[in-house]
Chain A
Amino acid sequence: MKEEHRQDGPKKYGMVIDLDKCTGCGSCMVACMSENNAPFREDESDKLLSVAWLRLYKLTNGKPYPDTDVCYLPRPCMHCEGHNGHSPCVSVCPATATDYDSATGIVSQIYTRCFGCRYCMAACPYHARVFNWWDPVWPDGMEKYLNPDVSVRMRGIVEKCSFCYHRLQRAKDKAYAEGRREIREDEYQTACTQACPAGAITFGDLNNPKHAVYKLRKSPRAFRLLERLGTNPKVYYLSSREWVRRAGDNYLADEATGAGKHMAEHKG
């Protein structure tokens, strides 16, 4: 019996976002909000209070017209692995309302367990976590579109991107019903990945050489956000522009980016 329950090797779900393809259109944001029952209020222009799991940051090279350049950067939860699963946010939670699953590499967030101390928000270097200052309210009749696969969050708790974990649960259900234990790459895709009109987001198991993300993250264009903090994030970005890769971390003026180094090695 025990033998049968053993997982077929741990997964490490991760994402690669191609910033050359990303147009900053915001479809990933709305796909996420629609899939994950995000609330909305009349004024959402204060982004510190706006409940969004995935946000788009605008980067600019800071040069004057016409040498200026901009690039959008979608930022879901990075699902940091840290060192052996000790992500910044998970390590500080006093309620064990968030944990790191070594079988999937996903950082959970259990709303009913969270009591809203917001320590995790302070610990997260990516601002990936948001606090619900208000109870969610849907205008009469609008609650009809809510997704039963995702819990509706109440006031006073912290929430964040779950890599659409419920889609993995759904995919597993289907696989189990068909007598399979393994799920295919295309069976578990996050809502943002699925929606992206530019096809800029790739999602899959970073441990699995057959998955697209496995190769993509080794691209010379790849970099991660604030990599040197040791957060070991599972979201990778691709950009052919050096200034964008530099914007991903705090580099000294004469320092090459990780990707730059890769490229040098690549050419050498």
Chain B
Amino acid sequence: MSTVEEKSQEVTEEQPDDATPVDPPEPPPATEAEPKGGILPAFLIGIVASLIVGWVVFPQLLYSKKRQPVDFNHAIHVREVGNDCAGCHYFREDGTFSGIPKLDKCVECHAEPIGISREEADFIEKYVATGTEVPWYVYAKQPPCVFFSHAAHIKMGHMECATCHGDIGESEHARVYQENRITGYSRDIWGHNISGYTRHTWESMKMADCARCHQKENVHQSSVQTKKGACFVCHK
């Protein structure tokens, strides 16, 4: 429900029929005195206002913006470390995926500064020197009920990282992390467009997105009840 809508209702309710002034700055005139012509503009104003609120204001309010603790440059790392994404985001022997590297992976190269950037010096001083893990915000973090297998998608499905993660590997700066104030999850899950409309596969990571692709590729469409993907494929 819209906040504007609520407000307007409140006002209408509180407005007594006997035209007692309640709104000091502009006491409303008697109903009969109201010109009939103002209805359509008011209706249109209502529509426009709520459209602005719903499409522009609401997303601003819904998401808090957070800077990553370190302004990470993916492009330079892909270039210098090599081996594409797998240089840092690799599979472990048991088939699990390492995800965001831990500090010890960074230290493999950054025990001492190897560049001249201020950002790197800060990173070494703040995290490497103290042995503190970097509290990265994870753009693709899924709720705890989700089991996502990178092995199934990358090793078996031969999918590209970019299919879900986009061109993050080419970024030179860490994007601002937008966190949904209600759910606590990243804006990337729903997608940047508040309508949920996406043009590319990497723009959102909701259950429907997984299901769509699974249906298209006929992956485990074995649920007797839904005739679609079984629950215990992606859930735990």
Contact = CB atoms under 8 A, between A and B. Distances in A.
Q: Tell me what chain A mostly uses at the interface: helix, strand, loop, or mixed.
A: loop
B94 A165 contact: no
Given A149-B236, A151-B236, A175-B95, A169 B149 contact: yes
B223 A101 contact: yes
Contact size range, B: 20 to 34
A96 interface: yes
A160 to B, nearest CB: 12
Interface in B147-182: 147, 149, 151-152, 155-157
Interface string B211-233: 00000011110111110001111
B145 A112 contact: yes
B91 interface: yes
Nearest to A178: B95
B174 to A, nearest CB: 26
A162 interface: yes
Contact of A106 (B143, B144, B232): B232
A177 B151 contact: yes
Interface stretch (A3-11, A23-31, A127-135): A3-11
B235 interface: yes
Interface string A168-179: 011011111111
B149 A101 contact: no
Most buried by A among B94, B156, B219, B231: B231
B156 A169 contact: no
Contact of B225 (A6, A96, A172): A96
Contact of B232 (A84, A101, A177): A101
A90 interface: yes
A211 to B, nearest CB: 20
A219 interface: no
B236 A102 contact: no
B192 to A, nearest CB: 24
B218 A108 contact: no
B226 A166 contact: no
B111 to A, nearest CB: 29
Contacts of A112: 143, 145, 235
Interface string A1-45: 110011100100000000000000000000000000000000000
A111 interface: yes
Nearest to B153: A176
B39 to A, nearest CB: 43
A63 to B, nearest CB: 44
Interface in A98-127: 98-104, 106, 108, 110-113
Given A5-B217, A99-B230, A166-B236, A173 B223 contact: no
A165 B224 contact: no
A152 B94 CA distance: 23
Contact of A173 (B145, B152, B219): B152
Given A2-B217, A99-B231, A173-B96, A85 B224 contact: yes
Contact of B156 (A106, A110, A149, A181): A181
20 contacts: A2-B217, A5-B218, A6-B218, A99-B223, A99-B226, A99-B230, A101-B230, A103-B220, A108-B232, A108-B235, A113-B231, A150-B236, A166-B236, A170-B94, A170-B96, A172-B152, A173-B94, A173-B96, A173-B151, A176-B155
Interface of A: 1-2, 5-7, 10, 84-86, 90, 96, 98-104, 106, 108, 110-113, 149-152, 162, 165-166, 169-170, 172-179, 181
